[in-house]
């Protein structure tokens, strides 16, 4: 997390980030793996951390560090026959990437905060899996048998839901209040006017679902034609623009996941 603080410091330089990366060989390796991935298509392999920082930029370094920290915290502890952790992380990173894209189209909406909300929006499921495992499996059973989203099956088994638990986790990690609220309300459309990051996350989540990248544990049919752009005062043309970029962002999410696992 120290790296994230440095990257967020407006006075920090690329040299500062490079120096800190040298103290974390695992993270430095992950950065080099990503910059050398097919997504960037570089002609020559990059083996110097400072060059990688220059090529990726501070924002991308921060996102890698955050993603790596979250994956390290939870790892593959949620591995089940019906809950593939790798698909979970791929979904989360793809939603984060697309959330940043959507936020860039909106006034007064922080793309970096949107990325974090996208990355953490389903993290409550992992907490429930770890600490309420019997109930978690019962929720999966209910969702599968009734063709429900995980969120819609939760009230039958627990007194809360993964969005509330994820918001609690964001607060425990002392993240911004707006991030916690974005996670808390991402399944609640009537809150999107006030908590715009939640609406951004829902938009990105829906695009991933259309692209057959739903989070594991949901068995509901994706409602085609849902106007997810309307609560954000965007247009259908904006939605189609994001859809056109989705495959590229999902491919990048695969490269990010490959680099941090």
More confident: 80 or 231:
231
pLDDT-based confidence at residue 7 (cuts at 50, 70, 90): low
Question: Residues of 148-176 as b/e, b for ≥16 C-beta within 10 angstroms?
Answer: bbbbbbbeebbeebbbbbbbbbbbebebb
| Residues pairing with 83 in the sheet | 80
- How many other CB atoms are found less than 10 A from the CB of residue 178? 19
pLDDT-based confidence at residue 137 (cuts at 50, 70, 90): very high
| CA pair distance 7, 27, nearest whole angstrom | 14
Contact 161, 143 (CB under 8 A): no
pLDDT-based confidence at residue 162 (cuts at 50, 70, 90): very high
Identify the structural domains of the chain with CATH numbers, from first to last. 1-74 (no CATH), 77-260 (1.10.3210.10)
pLDDT-based confidence at residue 75 (cuts at 50, 70, 90): low
More confident: 114 or 56:
114
Tell me: pLDDT of 77 over 70: no
pLDDT-based confidence at residue 230 (cuts at 50, 70, 90): very high
Find the helix packing angle between 236-260 and 58-74, rounded to 10°. 60
């Amino acid at each position: 997390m120290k790296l994230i603080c440095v990257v967020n410091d407006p006075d920090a330089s690329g040299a500062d980030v490079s120096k800190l990366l040298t103290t974390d060989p695992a993270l430095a390796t992950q950065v080099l793996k990503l910059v050398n991935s097919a997504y960037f298509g570089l002609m020559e392999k990059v083996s110097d951390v400072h060059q990688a920082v220059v090529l990726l930029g501070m924002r991308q370094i921060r996102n890698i560090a955050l993603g790596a920290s979250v994956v390290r915290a939870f790892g593959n502890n949620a591995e089940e026959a019906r809950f593939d952790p790798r698909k979970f992380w791929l979904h989360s990173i793809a939603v984060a990437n697309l959330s940043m894209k959507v936020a860039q189209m909106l006034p007064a909406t922080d793309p970096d905060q949107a990325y974090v909300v996208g990355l953490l929006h389903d993290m409550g499921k992992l907490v429930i899996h770890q600490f309420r495992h019997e109930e978690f499996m019962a929720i999966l059973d209910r969702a599968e048998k009734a063709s429900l989203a995980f969120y819609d099956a939760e009230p039958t088994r627990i007194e809360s839901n993964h969005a509330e638990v994820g918001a609690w986790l964001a607060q425990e990690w002392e993240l911004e209040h707006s991030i916690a609220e974005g996670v808390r309300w991402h399944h609640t459309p009537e809150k999107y006017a006030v908590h715009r990051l939640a609406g951004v996350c829902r938009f990105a989540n829906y695009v991933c679902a259309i692209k057959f990248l739903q989070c594991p544990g949901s068995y509901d049919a994706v409602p085609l034609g849902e106007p997810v752009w309307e609560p954000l005062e965007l247009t259908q043309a904006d939605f189609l623009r994001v859809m056109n970029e989705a495959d590229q962002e999902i491919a990048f999410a695969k490269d990010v996941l490959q680099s941090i696992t």
